[in-house]
Amino acid sequence: MFITFEGIDGSGKTTQIECLKDFLEQKGYNVITTREPGGTHLSERIRELLLNTDYNIDPITELFLFNASRMHLINTIIKPALKNNIIVISDRFYDSTTAYQGYGRSISLENINKCNDIIKSFGIIPDITLFLDIDIKISEERRSSMEKDRIELSNESFFEKVRAGYLCIADEEPNRIKIINANRDKQSIFEDIKKYILPLLQTSVK
């Protein structure tokens, strides 16, 4: 099973992924977690470039760098793990590209979809995507003590566009993408996540 988490920066993905991994392991499942950009040595190097505040990166270069990181992660980690019936949980996947580079940076959705279609052609499509929907102001408060990376330095209107983009994507694929109110405490959010994941476990191998 391939589970992805999505949301704007600081929406609580890392926190919930840790809870879900522990929960699934306690039930006896083999689980690996990964993140985008990153997850392999090469992709982590690409992540450093993408998030480094020293670079001014145009949207199309950014689009290709995210996709290069993704392709390497798929071939090196995700595909082999799924083949071995390991549950893969990824912090972000191609919906991030649609939301950030498409809706956020205004690259045409036609071009975004061309890239996403290449990725999809390798057969790696999330079984479920949990979109942690958080108010921009709350996410900013939660991140206030953290140093900002190149993308986090973007202004509020950028994140409004990204969030609106996620809502459009979720609207288009309601069976796969579940919207979760992430403005609440950690446990309430996790209860919702469990409600979506538990029915899917019946089809997973331990």
Using CB under 6 A as the criterion, which residues of the chain lie in contact with ligand T5A when the complex forms?
7, 9-15, 35-37, 66, 91-92, 96-97, 100-101, 142, 151-152, 185-186, 189
Is 171 or 191 the residue whose CB approaches ligand T5A more closely? 191
| Token pair recorded at residue 204 | 């997973």
Whole-number Cα distances in Å, 24 to 14, 72, 87, 129: 15, 26, 9, 16
Sign of CA dihedral 2, 67, 54, 155: negative
Please, what is the minimum distance in Å from the beta carbon of residue 4 to ligand T5A?
A: 10
Please, what is the minimum distance in Å from the beta carbon of residue 78 to ligand T5A?
A: 13
Please, what is the minimum distance in Å from the beta carbon of residue 8 to ligand T5A?
A: 7
Is 35 or 161 the residue whose CB approaches ligand T5A more closely? 35
Backbone angles phi, psi at 62, to 5 degrees: -60, -45
* Pairing of the two strands 87-91 and 128-133: unpaired
Is 122 or 205 the residue whose CB approaches ligand T5A more closely? 122
Helix (H) or strand (E) holding 129: strand 128-133
Is 144 or 202 the residue whose CB approaches ligand T5A more closely? 144
